[in-house]
């Protein structure tokens, strides 16, 4: 397994895969570690998570540099990611006990109540795009609930995977409780069927999620899936156009556009489409790709040449089908996985920019006849992760977000992002289950009824 710097194509390090027999042994040890961990009080588990949070804040610059080298994230974004991981650890350290408190229920019994128990060992199959956050947003609640975690991280970020488990072990979590397994995709999916695995969480592509869900379903294992997205942003005729364009560009170009909840399709009603497009183009032009290790850089390379080339083919096919290339759209003649900020206009059905997820710095502008048409276009997708509405009439926009858009997370006059206090997840082919908040910690527990006559 090679760790490749996407900025220049250099090999950073070589890692050996975990042997299958070793992986199954670690899984068995994790079963016993989970039982011992669950015997500790919430206070004792909380202490370890608080120590992990302190280490994440203290080591944020170092971890950001690791992310920049392995997957191209600019330093400022990497520091913010590490600090957000600290926040989610602190959030669950402070709230897990209340979230999982025994709940009395009135019935015809002398006593009846609901209590919560950990499931055991959870296999986490994680992506490269937010190598720390994607793990900690699941692991913080899962660990506070008393579970053990086996991490199968993306082959793109093996150094980040080692840093994650090393940091948690230093914070006081047993080595058998949080284990880094460098597995092939085949072995990761085979591990799902092992008796030692109680549940699975997967973040990644819809195709990958379908494969994991098939394996988990065959083994009758609980699974949470956070998959792809093609998030629509509705720009209504009374929107604050400059503010909307600013939010749209920040969402589209964050992490070089490599985010499931990044803004993907900008649906502007006809009366403001031209003005919005002009504001969008001006702001997209202001982002110049640069060295992710330079603190001044706002846009780094994509995570790999393969991903960049796939995105470029999607752009070319969209243009061939009638989309207008307004900005970018050319592969730079230099080593590395670079791609410029790109804007496509006149996007419509039967184009990759309309039907597929564009996982990179490409904005697709669509024109709607009116508000109703904009809502129709927004929902005309197989995905359902996030969506946003921009309008000066906040109650009107809230009604659309609340009642009309088919997505797991809907924002008004702001770009979509995750927050430990709010549940996060999608519908349709964006997956199922929820992470974060009360709902996230209850995904990997046995919700047990106790009835006493």
Secondary structure (DSSP) of 73-138: --HHHHHHHHHHHHHHHHHHHHHHHHHT--EE--SSSSEEEEEEEE-SEEEEE--SSSTTHHHHHH
Which residues, other chains included, contact 351 with Cβ-Cβ below 8 Å and sequence gap of 6+? 317, 318, 321, 322, 323
Strand partners, 327: 343
- Bridge partners (DSSP) of residue 150 are 123, 179
Q: How many residues does the chain have?
A: 453
| Angle at alpha carbon of residue 83, lines to 82 and 88, rounded to 5° | 100
> Which sign, positive or negative, has the C-alpha torsion 275, 276, 281, 286?
positive
Query: What span, in angstroms and rounded, lies between the C-alpha atoms of 229 and 206?
Result: 9
Torsion of the alpha carbons at 367, 414, 133 and 50, rounded to the nearest 10: -170
Task: Answer yes or no: 62 catalytic.
Answer: no
| Active-site residue flag, 260 | yes
Residue in the structure block whose two tokens are 């307004």 = 326
Give the separation between CA 315 and CA 232, rounded to whole angstroms: 18
Single out the catalytic residue among 226, 277, 357, 371: 226
Please tell me the chain's helix, strand, coil percentages from 3-state DSSP, rounded to the nearest 5. 45, 20, 35
Which of 85, 248, 260, 410 is flagged as catalytic?
A: 260
Tokens 């996982």 -> residue = 359
Q: What is the DSSP string of 367-414?
A: EESSHHHHHHHHH-SS--SEEEEE-S-HHHHHHIIIII--SSEEEESS
Residue 150 phi, psi (nearest 5): -105, 125
Nearest CA to 73 out of 297, 288, 230, 226 is that of 297
Query: Are the C-beta atoms of residues 96 and 87 closer than 8 Å to each other?
Result: no
Q: Exposed (0-12), middle (13-18) or buried (19+): which is 448, by Cβ within 10 Å?
A: exposed
Q: Return the residue matching tokens 């991981």.
A: 85
**Hunting for tokens 């995905």 — which residue is that?**
383
Question: Catalytic amino acids?
Answer: 226, 260
């Amino acid at each position: 397994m090679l760790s490749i710097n996407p900025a220049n194509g250099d090999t950073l390090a070589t890692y050996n895969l975990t042997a299958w027999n070793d992986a199954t042994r670690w899984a068995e040890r994790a079963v016993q570690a989970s039982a011992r961990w669950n015997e500790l009080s919430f206070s004792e588990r909380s202490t370890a998570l608080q120590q992990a949070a302190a280490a994440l804040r203290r080591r944020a610059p170092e971890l950001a540099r690791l992310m920049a080298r392995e997957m191209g994230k600019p330093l400022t974004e990497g520091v913010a990611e590490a600090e957000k991981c600290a926040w989610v650890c602190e959030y669950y350290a402070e709230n897990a006990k209340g979230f999982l408190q025994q709940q009395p229920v009135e019935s015809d019994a002398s006593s009846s109540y609901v209590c919560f128990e950990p499931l055991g060992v959870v296999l986490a199959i994680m992506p490269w795009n937010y190598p720390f956050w994607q793990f900690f947003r699941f692991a913080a609640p899962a660990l506070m609930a008393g579970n053990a975690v086996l991490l199968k991280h993306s082959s793109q970020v093996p150094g980040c995977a080692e840093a994650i488990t090393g940091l948690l072990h230093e914070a006081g979590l047993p080595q058998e409780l949080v284990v880094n397994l460098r597995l092939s995709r085949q072995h990761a999916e085979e591990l799902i069927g092992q008796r030692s695995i109680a549940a699975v969480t997967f973040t990644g592509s819809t195709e990958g999620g379908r494969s994991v869900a098939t394996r988990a379903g065959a083994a009758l294992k609980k699974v949470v899936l956070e998959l792809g997205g093609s998030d629509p942003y509705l720009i209504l005729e009374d929107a604050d156009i400059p503010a909307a364009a600013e939010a749209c560009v920040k969402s589209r170009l964050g992490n070089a556009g490599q985010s499931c909840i990044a803004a993907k399709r900008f649906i502007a009603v006809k009366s403001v489409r031209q003005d919005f497009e002009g504001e969008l183009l001006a702001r997209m032009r202001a982002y110049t790709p640069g060295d992710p290790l330079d603190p001044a850089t706002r846009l780094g390379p994509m995570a790999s040449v393969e991903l960049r080339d796939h995105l470029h083919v999607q752009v070319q096919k969209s243009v061939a089908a009638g989309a207008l290339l307004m900005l970018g759209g050319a592969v730079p003649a230099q080593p590395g996985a670079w791609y410029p900020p790109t804007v496509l206009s006149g996007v419509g059905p039967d184009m990759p920019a309309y039907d597929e997820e564009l996982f990179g710095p490409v904005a697709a502008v669509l024109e709607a006849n009116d508000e109703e048409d904009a809502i129709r276009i927004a929902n005309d997708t197989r995905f359902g992760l996030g969506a946003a509405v921009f309008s000066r009439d906040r109650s009107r926009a809230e009604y659309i977000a609340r009642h009309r858009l088919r997505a797991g997370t809907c924002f008004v006059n702001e770009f979509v992002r995750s927050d430990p206090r709010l549940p996060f997840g999608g519908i349709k082919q964006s997956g199922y289950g929820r992470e974060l908040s009360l709902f996230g910690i209850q995904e990997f527990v046995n919700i047990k009824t106790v009835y006493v006559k």
